[in-house]
Structure 1
Amino acid sequence: MNNVLKAWEVKVKKSQASAKKRAATMFTTMSVAHVDEEASDIKVSHVEKIFSNGDIYIGQWVAENYPHGDGKYLWSDGCMYVGEWCKGKSNGKGKFSWPSGATYEGQFKNSYIDGEGTFTGSLNDTYKGFWVMNKKHGKGKESYGNGDHYEGNWRKGLHDGQGTYQWNSGHQYIGQWKKGKMNGNGIMIWSNGNRFDGNWEGGLPSSHKDLDPLLLFSIEMSECVIHEAESPSVFPSEKMFIWSKGESKNHKHHKQQIRINSKNENKGINLQSVERQGVTICKGHKNYELMLNLQLGIRHSVGRPAPSKSVDLKATGFDTEEKLWTKFPPEGSKHTPPHQSCDFRWKDYCPFVFRTLRKLFNVDPAEYMLSICGDEALRELSSPGKSGSFFYMTHDDKYMIKTMKKAEVKVLKRMLPSYFEHVKTYENTLVTKFFGLHCVKLSGTSQKKVRFVIMGNLFHTNVRINRRFDLKGSSHGRITDKPESQIDANATLKDLDLNFIFRLQNDWFQDFCRQVEKDLEFLEHERIMDYSLLVGVSFRESNQELENSNSEPNSTGTSPRVSSADTDTSITSLNPTRWASVRLGMNMPARVEKTVRSHQNQLVGEATGEFYDVILFFGIIDILQNYDINKKLEHAYKSFQFDPTSISAVDPIQYAKRFRDFIFSVFKEDD
């Protein structure tokens, strides 16, 4: 493979050398990506391909053996392109992301970044404007990671023409540029009020080239250094695509709609497994130091002396107003080790409560610390949630870490005593399991605080999760806005996307109904709304019994509490080790029945009588939103425009009733 890559690099260099001969004409006008009109009649199918080097392609494909239309290409090194293709090349609108966290979204032409688009670097550099053959060219705006800004003309990746540069110190230059330097007529205005209006050459006032600029303007010209923008480590046009037929490990056509061969056949749906979500946070990533701080803090917290074996806590353990911060200087201290990150402070909220919760959930302290703080880095999920929070996953997928708003922290602190009693009383509760609440306070002038909560990952399993649904019981806006080509096994679908009824065996269904009632009573009492039932569906293949799935017992290490439904023959016929791993909401054998809607806004479709076997994972998530003034205003505003019963933001009592009615209409007892 190394020889292939070297040969490819030589080929790329040769093609770039020949391209330079055409550069003069190519850079004179702006080009916008478009799809070749001759290709419009090409017949395409939908495929999923895994190549021998580990690359993956999912999307539209033509018989000539290349992508054409919408599709996603994931390289084994973590780079990914999602968007339009034409005859095997990225062409049209698309998004390219790098392992560092950098992204480009906009126009492509013949696999080049070409046209209008936005590049966001891992160090917070952002360029929005025009490109030609991977170069910034034309009008554009650049916001640099250090706080500087430039707006104006670009040529071949450099400031060239009329433009304005604003330094974060307050200095400003307005005028002409050439090859990235101030050149021609321009005005420099310093933050102290000094200014120079005249001719510039090579970045200095040309009329005073023989004089010391420090004497002229009483300020160091070194403060007016042009910041160097972050550049992608590799461009899409330099990445290697593999289209030859012999390279494919798996080439599988499938229909866009899930279909069932017959009512009684247990053939399932053989959907391709998808790579783990997220980008590994390595050195150079914008949140690398934040990850180190979190891991250092967790080691410190978990390493404290353990409380007694009893899970009964004193009221003082729930004191959320206690201000206990631990300093983590880089050189180390009496209580903290030396480290390679920045100076920061760490806070544990109710540490003994969460330590007791972890014990209650049967979480081993050593395994917990290794999952979060081991040698493997965390993974940052590709995009923040609707709330603006960021999500991080541990390397083993056991735990999810979410950044929190201050209001969410207040809700969790307020409800913590009731939450503790609820999960202690109801071992099979479906509500989110919380394992820790922490805060990192960065040093420096910003004094930025980042609050984290650590939760169990509902989908920690080796079973393939083929479909994910986030269900609220409301209809307004509850449909996926992604095009079909971008919906894969990692996409989270919504209420109006659901085309199944979930059928649970008799005793499991009774346990499910009782637990949902208890959990909703708790949430309603705490004035919580806007929560969801997250459901993961794994379709079982005809030649794959549950005991062959090698699923781990659950996401948190909790010992399973087995329902009386386990005496059913369809369960007891399984391998005993698999039988022991089944619990309410985790690794549950079930059936789903396909439904069809008579109109688009019908919340629950009509049953078709088509069944197939599945394994279900489900739980209640997003339980930290109370019915505050913002939600009340949202309800009042949207009620004027839409049916008040269709929107998510409603009173907790009404929300719980609607949620209950919907869940019990899509979860049924199996006949």
Structure 2
Amino acid sequence: MRERARHATRVSPMPPPAGGDDPDADAAPSCSGSADEGDAQERSLPNGDIYTGQWRGAVPHGAGKYLWADGCMYEGEWRRGKATGRGRFSWPSGATYEGEFLDGFMHGAGAYVGAAGDTYRGAWAKNLEHGAGEKRYANGDRYDGEWRAGLPDGCGHYAWRDGTEYAGGWRAGLIHGRGALVWANGNRYDGGWEGGRPRGQGTFRWADGSLYVGFWGREAPGGAVHQKGVYYPSPAAAGGSPRARDPREVFARELPECVSTGTESQSALTSLRSLKWLMRSVSGRGSSSSGRSTGSGGSLVHVWGSDGDVKCDLGDDWRRRSVREGRGLPPPSTVPVQHLANGAALRVSKRQGVTIAKGHKNYELMLNLQLGIRHAVGRQGQAILDLKSSAFNPKEKVWTKFPPEGSKYTPPHNSCDFKWKDYCPKVFRTLRKLFKVDPADYMLSLCGDDALRELSSPGKSGSFFYLTNDDRYMIKTMKKAEVKMLLKMLQAYYNHVRAFEDTLVTKFFGLHCVKSGVQQKKVRFVIMGNLFCSDHTIHRRFDLKGSSLGRITDKPPAEIDEYTTLKDLDLNFIFRLQKQWYQEFQRQVDKDCEFLEQEKIMDYSLLVPLTLMVKNLQHLAFQDGTGITFVLIQTGGRKLNLGQTCCQGLN
């Protein structure tokens, strides 16, 4: 790499004679010989360099080869004195670059092979890796992904020679964003990163299956990583204490802090090196016979004079980019970065519901729900798609006692003594797998440090509704008769959602019961997907039944906001879908309705969240739909991107 840095600028931009007009200024960069180009000539320079190739006027133009006295050589296309087009540069050490050049720089697609055996194949810009490319290092490491200014930046995959691998985001050569790091011993971290360190929400999984779900913040004053979360031991793990292991111990051991030595500092990666050169300008030759000045072209090393001679001078005022070596974690960034859960855009709109804080009448119930879910999900085994009929038996349920002091199977807690029941646990475990729900993310949403939010009932059932802080899941309390009905139809529901991946029917993830208090009062509840969870702001939400009696909101227009549930007669838009989208949507609605009719369910709705993509939302008139060019509909948890659709207002 030093060889590449020292000599790459020997084919840097070389301007034509100053003051002259270039008749071929707009021609294509390709410079293979043409009729009006001069014949190949060989010129020996006083310093021992040799150029053999085509000329135009007083500068190389066309195909040519330049051999430096120290053994460096460029062979390829030239344009007005600059290496431009396809070419090959070789160093005395054996390092080579073959690919595209532009104005004397390695620029475009090309392959570099270093003297030590390291290689890079991909995109270049101004002598630096820039764009998509793969780099293989002499020590056996490999990186394949996006580059920016000579460093990994964007999405990429890095594999260390010991078997450790990382796939995810990068920024300025450091792990940054969302990604997964898998050690050779089977340990794994999935989650957020910042500057090479775990940041934000994430999960750490040991090779034996034990799991830590938590949140990683900035370092404490003493240098320790701020971390909070819950540890779930695997049944196969020895010693099963909830506090048996700490991910920080693995990070400290596997990602040691590196100390800078000399002028090189340490990095999150081995062998990731980039050079940046600061060349001093070289003056041109005095004056030609025509009296035109031949000044330098800026930071040039070789400048062709107007009379065809070459002034050779190597810029030695180059410096290395700050390079960090090793897989250890770099010092933390001093720039505060606000964590955005799940990568969603920061929303400034008000949150729906009331946060259940300490002192709320349902605070202990919320703690019991979270404790029970942690226990139920954390101890479950592998999901099996082909379930036996016995798994759907309504009597298939498990009661677990949760004393405050803890037990052999449950951790100690600060809530009251309660009992927890799981209905058909194998079925709901498999449903979560069908719906592609990661157990760690599921627990983090429902049982993280953030409290649930209680909603007032939007229907007539009298049920209570709770939302998770990330809006992904909704918890609804149920009556005993409702639980029996859901259990009765559970097998048919399972077969339906397994057969139709794009079903718009509500997604159920768990059915549970909590019994607490002196009177042992039972609270039954179901966990569902929130149909109104979206990375986009939802401006209108509709509950459509296909009827008109009483199907209009009773709120005055001034009080209607994004959380108001509108009904059939409030719908003042026409959605024009592409034919294929319409047919697919209609087919799925028909299948879902058939399923509901077979289960003798007559009261159901189509929930339609509406996102209006306009340049200036403040000037949007919802009454007539003016300016709407894009509509996003999300029904049943699935997003239908309708592309360029047309919405017309109804008078």
TM-score of the superposed pair, with normalisation by structure 1: 0.42
Bigger Cα Rg: 2
- Which structure has more relative contact order (CA 8 Å, sep 6+)? It is 1
Which structure is higher in helix share?
1
